[in-house]
Amino acid sequence: MIPVTFDGMLGKLHLPSGPASGLGVVVVPPHGLEALAATKSLRILADGLAAAGHAVLRYDLPGTADSLGGDGDPDRVPAWTASVAAAARMLRECAGTGGTIVLGLRFGGLIGTLGAQSIPDLAGLVLLDPVVRGRLYARELAITARAVAEGARLDPDATSTPEGLLVGGHLTTPGTLKAIGGLDLGKLPAPAAPILVLHRKGAADAAALASVWVTQTTVTAAEAGGFDGISISPTMATTPHEAFATAVDWTETLPHSPLATPGAIGAATLSGPQFIENAVTFGEGGRLFGVFCDPVDLDPAKPAVLIVNAGRNPHVGWARSGVDLARRLAADGVASLRIDLAGIGDGVDRPGAPDAVESVLYHPATELETAAAIDLLAAHRPGPIVLSGACSGAYLAFHSAARDPRIAGLVLVNIQRFVWRKGETVAEAIASAYPLASSYVAKVWSARSWRRVLTGERKLWPLVREFARRAAGRLRAVVPSGETRRARAMMARLQARGVRVELFFSADDPGLGDLALHFGAGGRRLANDPRVVMTLIAGSDHDLTPPAARQALFERVLAATRAVQGSAAKQVAHGTTSA
């Protein structure tokens, strides 16, 4: 996988791993939250297509993910449509391909079909679970926005704002919604190329589209399972391997094309008004992925920030939080590196590792991968480093900082485990992540909650076990457990080095239970250290979906960088360095 940039967009090029077919595949991603959840799956699909001899280019649509611009920019649909042909041109330049296959997932299928009309060497079109009618998709977005908010215990009415619709923090403006609503593949002529349509069972629109297009060109249509698994949660997403294998097999039936001499591939650089970004691969076998974000006006006295994955969220971050944080830090003169560890987003899985959360979250190998990222950032920007991580990323940041003297600041966001509990599985850790008893007990007694337990929608035993564990933890407070002693010892090492520690929690986050278990309710055992700062954010969820929560986090990360800068200046003035 080779990072590339073109027309203000970031892409990932997968060159053929065997005899080349001469065909290139442009992979058009879904929209918004679905694009985030599908990142890993589309990487796996691209690897499969490359193994079949095709050159493949995945890319981020304009104004999304790592590409330049934002959701609020005007004319999104025309920009997204034009990007398909731009990606095809880039693929021809970089790989010398003689024919182009356009492959789109969900909304990417609709945009891919529109953009394919402008590709002169179109060799095929692959639509995976495609959105056919924009009007229905716009309604689906509104329903999804409310469902995501309700699932996160946020106000669903707050998803509809004057600026537009917020789906898991991703904005779709009224103008973009109107433009989407006017799209309908059924009203377009079939592209002049063979077409594959794989749709989920009962998808009447996709089946009807195929039945119309088959009168105009060669169309293969079939039901395929597994698309629901990509869903809207990157952490819990599963890859539809069987459907992807069907798509790869179909592309191998297409005629090969002659290859041209490919051009040189330059650095993957994007520049904004206040930042310059470079995408890289690193680590053993180049399996890890990262994006450096350097300020145009770099202040060398300021520490750099390493942004670690939260759960299996790619480096882009929930609601594009990783990208926004990095670029806002650059405006303050702070350099950063946002990364994907192995098995997350653009991070290639470790050899033999299954595509499952247990092979990624809290896995011992991720600590070595985080160390490789620290080495990379330290070589790029020598000096002190601030680690910022959420959930499982906060666990990694805590453990990495306790070991590495280069870490001078730490931002732990909704950390769920300070130390791993002996015998606990990742699935159990996720199952135990219920809201605190103070806010959840009322729901336990509601008829709806009991119905969810009795029907099996919510398992009772993890809930009972978690409440019992917390109660037992209070009873053991006088005699700390081995886990608590380890957590306190690591925190003591940080305090002895003078590391700035920002503890940042949503007000009812279940991670507060682990904090209380090891450091007392609200972290009271740490209250006397001015370098440990506790922040509670009301009205937020675990992912910091509300914009106000992400703004508060930015302010705390910025405060950490300034505190580290001030501490370093004092050490220089007194002729000392950190241990």
Distance, CA of 511 to CA of 433 (rounded, Å): 8
pTM of the model: 0.91
What are the contacts of 483-490 at 24+ separation with CB within 8 A? 483/419, 483/421, 483/422, 483/518, 484/517, 484/518, 486/419, 487/418, 487/419, 487/518, 487/519, 488/518, 488/519, 488/525, 490/398, 490/399, 490/402, 490/418, 490/419
- Residues 266, 292, 306: CA angle, nearest 5 degrees: 155
* Residue 285 shares a structural domain with residue 243: no
**Under 8 Å CB-to-CB from 434, ≥6 apart: which residues?**
440, 462, 463, 466, 510
Neighbouring CB atoms inside 10 A of 448's CB total: 7
- Domain membership flag for residue 270: no
Average of per-residue pLDDT across 233-239: 91
- Domain membership flag for residue 455: no
Query: Model confidence over 400-451: pLDDT tens digits?
Result: 999 999 999 999 999 999 999 888 888 887 776 544 433 333 333 344 444 4
- Domain membership flag for residue 267: no
**Under 8 Å CB-to-CB from 176, ≥6 apart: which residues?**
71, 76, 77, 164
333, 562 Cβ separation under 8 angstroms: no
Instruction: Please give the sequence-ordered ranges of beta strands (E in DSSP) within 23-157, or none if there are none.
Output: 23-28, 55-59, 99-105, 122-128
Strand-strand pairing, 2-6 and 9-14: antiparallel
* Residue 113 shares a structural domain with residue 164: no
* Residue 200 shares a structural domain with residue 283: no
Distance, CA of 275 to CA of 407 (rounded, Å): 23
Q: Give the residue from 182, 200, 216 where a domain finishes.
A: 182
* Residue 146 shares a structural domain with residue 80: no
* Residue 110 shares a structural domain with residue 87: yes
CATH of the domain at 115: 3.40.50.1820
Q: Over pLDDT 70: what percentage of the chain?
A: 90
Q: How far from 33 is each of 233, 248, 424, 554, 568, CA to CA, in Å?
A: 8, 25, 30, 21, 40
Closest listed residue to residue 235, CA positions, set 69, 3, 431: 431
Across 150-181, b (16+ Cβ under 10 Å) vs e yields: eebbbeeeebeeeebbbbbbbbbbeebbebbe
Q: Is the dihedral of CA 154, 160, 162, 168 positive or negative?
A: positive
353: amino acid identity, one letter:
A
Confidence of residue 212 (pLDDT cuts 50, 70, 90): very high
Which domain, by its residues, includes 177? 134-182
* Residue 353 shares a structural domain with residue 232: no
The per-residue pLDDT for 434 is 45
* Residue 70 shares a structural domain with residue 202: yes
* Residue 14 shares a structural domain with residue 82: yes
* Residue 208 shares a structural domain with residue 103: yes
- Domain membership flag for residue 51: yes
- Domain membership flag for residue 150: yes
- Domain membership flag for residue 261: no
Distance, CA of 543 to CA of 449 (rounded, Å): 23
* Residue 546 shares a structural domain with residue 521: yes
- Pull the structure tokens for residue 70: 């934002």
* Residue 122 shares a structural domain with residue 148: no
Residue tagged 């059924």 (tokens): 186
Quote the number of domains for the chain. Answer: 3
Q: Give the residue from 236, 251, 266 where a domain finishes.
A: 251
Residue tagged 């590391």 (tokens): 499
Query: Model confidence over 50-109: pLDDT tens digits?
Result: 999 999 999 999 999 999 999 999 999 999 999 999 999 999 999 999 999 999 999 999
- Domain membership flag for residue 372: yes
Query: Model confidence over 464-485: pLDDT tens digits?
Result: 666 666 666 555 555 789 999 9
- Domain membership flag for residue 263: no
* Residue 283 shares a structural domain with residue 209: no
Across 411-426, b (16+ Cβ under 10 Å) vs e yields: bbbbbbbbbebeeeeb
